[in-house]
Amino acid sequence: MRTIDSKKKRKYFKLKTLSPLSENRFRIVFLILFVGLGSLFLRVGWLQVFQADQLKSKAREVQTEKRRPLGTRRSILDRNGKLIAIDEKRFKLWAHPRYFQFPGDSYGTVRKPEEVAKLLSLPLSKSVSELLQEFGNYSSGIKLAEGLTQEKANEIKKLRISGIDLEAYPQRFYPHGSLFANVVGFLDLDRRPQAGLELSLDRELKRLEKKSILRRGADGTPLPVGVQRGVFDEDQLNLQLTLDVRLQEVAVKEISKQVKAWNAKKGVVIVMDIETGALLALASTPSYDPNKYWEYSPSLFKEWSVQELFEPGSTFKPINLALALEEGVISPNGEINDDGLITVGGWPLSNWDRKPNGIITFPEVLQVSSNVGMIKIMNKLNASNYWQWLRRLGIDEVPETDLPGAVGGQIKSKQIFVNQPIEPAVAAFGQGFSITPLKLAQLHALLANGGKLVTPHITKGLRDNNESYFNTPPESKQVLSKEVTNIVLGWMETVVSFYEESGIEVNVPGYRIGGKTGTAQKSQDGLNYDSKICSFVASLPIDDPRYVVLAVVDEPKKPYAYGATVALPVVKEIIETLLVIEKIPPSIDRKEHLTINS
């Protein structure tokens, strides 16, 4: 069988003799290769000669990342670095249904909106039907959401859905809500500043951002080609204020409580460093939440303490006494007869309680807040000189301050003030002219710091972790002598002691405090004085003055509304907090207080 099989196989495998290939075949193959290579060289030449610039620009587009500024703003910090305003990165989500694809889909595949809606439903916290309704019949450019956080944006990115775009943008956020609204202000939905420091310091708050071009390799690694100097640098500077979050919280709480308790129109608190003019607290009520500004009346967007005027009343009496001492028309140990009523230019003027106080010393004039005594004292000062002193104090000037919208006070013209005796008479007890609460605090700082007129301010400067650019306040102007202001400051301390003896708690055991109340009549039409404005100002500690604290409450509606009952309790609470925050040691020369404190 094997022999037969082998024979059969031989029949199928026959050897053929080799013969040379046809020359024509070689020519055809050579021609084909020649044409192919020639076409290839022609194409390469065409690309390199005629399309080089176009191809190079396309390659650069793929390799190059263009970084455009988002238009962010600097953060605002309190004096201890706590955030008051900050830009947070948010995202808008755009959908383009005609490009919907999932990872791994073949070229040309377009997913149905229903499939995409199912994946987006969870991270967007929307139902599938809601999303489908938003998709509608549009093929592109559908805004599904805005205000998405970075975490939500990352969840959506992980889905890797083609046709879903995330657009980053900055959003201003105010962590403390209404606490600093009166000072900081806000940005509207188009990021345009509308009030406060956001408006007045708009230029300084914009970060220095620049367009940059960065080339990357195939794996995304930045290439050291064409990199401009500073392309990776970022503006990390923030605006630091002199305000203190802790003190501001107490100030807002206490003034709001009193405004509500007395059914008042509004209130303000100022805490000022008497040497530098730096404000540690500037609180107003009512206020608003800058994160939801559209829910509030625009009338709340201004800061009353620097933009509205009031007649300071008896809180101006210590300043008038200082003027009389400076001019030498009274002596520190002098006395005055207060008979309870005086007629000036045909106008009858009386004390607040319409009672006489007899012969009293100048400290007692402040203690009982004698209007008649003050009129007689200031009548010793030439009216023209008195008016010049009010001008020298800057009563009618716009204060030099970084607080937005500050206005100057109002006083009568020199002709009216000098020729109408009633004008200097009412000015003697703080009426007939008007100033802002900020100006009143500045003037009491002048009494406490030895007669220097400091510049009130709330901005400290720009700073980051490595560098700082702090502002240097203008040099203070010496207006009164230190001897005179020290005398008046001592008199103000006797006022606080007088209140204590009357059962009104002001002092903090172990500390020396000076102060003065004010209850000024208020007119809406310039004729009828049918409402009040109550205030109290304190300087502390008397032995080494450092701070002035002022509280003003406008139009309290309940009976027995006076500076001592309405404004004084606010200042006392703030002083107690201030002493702790600033770690001010007790006064060493008040032994009775030290004994109580120990």
State mean pLDDT over 336-347: 91
DSSP element (H, E) containing 247: helix 245-261
- The reported pLDDT for the residue numbered 311 is 93
Write phi, then psi, for 409 (nearest 5 degrees).
Answer: -80, -170
State mean pLDDT over 560-581: 94
135 and 250 belong to one structural domain? no
State mean pLDDT over 145-153: 90
CA distance 241 to 225: 42
Q: Is the pLDDT score of 240 beyond 80?
A: yes
* Domain range for 122: 87-172
524 and 433 belong to one structural domain? yes
- The reported pLDDT for the residue numbered 84 is 95
Catalytic residue numbers read 314
State mean pLDDT over 134-142: 86
CATH of the domain at 345: 3.40.710.10
Query: Has residue 553 been placed in a domain?
Result: yes
Q: Is the pLDDT score of 235 beyond 60?
A: yes
Contacts (Cβ under 8 Å, ≥6 apart) of 531: 521, 522, 524, 555
Give the DSSP per-residue string, 318-345.
Answer: HHHHHHHHHHTSS-TT-EEEE-SEEEET
- The reported pLDDT for the residue numbered 453 is 95
CA distance 533 to 80: 34
Query: Has residue 160 been placed in a domain?
Result: yes
136 and 267 belong to one structural domain? no
Q: Is the pLDDT score of 595 beyond 80?
A: no
Query: Has residue 213 been placed in a domain?
Result: no
Instruction: Take residue 576 and report the two structure tokens written for it.
Output: 């107690």
Query: Has residue 48 been placed in a domain?
Result: no
385 and 511 belong to one structural domain? yes
Which is higher by pLDDT, 590 or 88? Answer: 88
Question: How does strand 238-241 pair with strand 76-77?
Answer: parallel
Which residue in the block uniquely carries the two structure tokens 């383009």?
96
Distances 228 to 177, 209, 211, 212 between C-alpha atoms, Å: 41, 14, 11, 8
166 and 291 belong to one structural domain? no
Instruction: Take residue 303 and report the two structure tokens written for it.
Output: 């800061």
pLDDT in tens, 387-439: 999 999 999 999 889 888 899 999 999 999 999 999 999 999 999 999 999 99
Nearest-CA neighbor of 572 among 558, 551, 588, 552? 551
Name the band, by pLDDT with cuts 50, 70 and 90, for residue 596. Answer: very low
Task: Tell whether pTM > 0.75.
Answer: yes
What letter represents residue 226's amino acid? Answer: G
157 and 250 belong to one structural domain? no
Give the number of domains in the chain.
2
- Find the range with the poorest average confidence among 83-92, 229-238, 239-248, 313-322: 229-238
Q: Which of 128, 156, 172 is the last residue of a domain?
A: 172
Q: Is the pLDDT score of 12 beyond 60?
A: no
State mean pLDDT over 221-236: 61
- The reported pLDDT for the residue numbered 29 is 82
164 and 283 belong to one structural domain? no
Nearest-CA neighbor of 122 among 91, 93, 152? 152
Query: Has residue 58 been placed in a domain?
Result: no
Name the band, by pLDDT with cuts 50, 70 and 90, for residue 525. Answer: low
Which residue in the block uniquely carries the two structure tokens 């009166």?
182
- The reported pLDDT for the residue numbered 75 is 93
pLDDT in tens, 24-62: 777 888 888 888 888 888 888 877 877 777 777 776 666
- The reported pLDDT for the residue numbered 63 is 64
What letter represents residue 186's amino acid? Answer: F
Mean predicted lDDT score pLDDT of the chain? 87
Query: Has residue 490 been placed in a domain?
Result: yes
Q: Is the pLDDT score of 597 beyond 60?
A: no
Q: Is the pLDDT score of 209 beyond 90?
A: no
Coil, strand, or helix at residue 542? coil
C-beta atoms surrounding 48 within 10 Å: 10
Strand extents, DSSP E, 101-258: 142-148, 164-173, 212-215, 238-241
Q: Is the pLDDT score of 341 beyond 60?
A: yes
CATH of the domain at 101: 3.90.1310.10
Q: Is the pLDDT score of 17 beyond 80?
A: no
C-beta atoms surrounding 425 within 10 Å: 25
pLDDT in tens, 272-313: 999 999 999 999 999 999 999 999 999 999 888 999 999 999
- The reported pLDDT for the residue numbered 322 is 97
CA distance 365 to 377: 10
Contacts (Cβ under 8 Å, ≥6 apart) of 46: none
- The reported pLDDT for the residue numbered 1 is 46
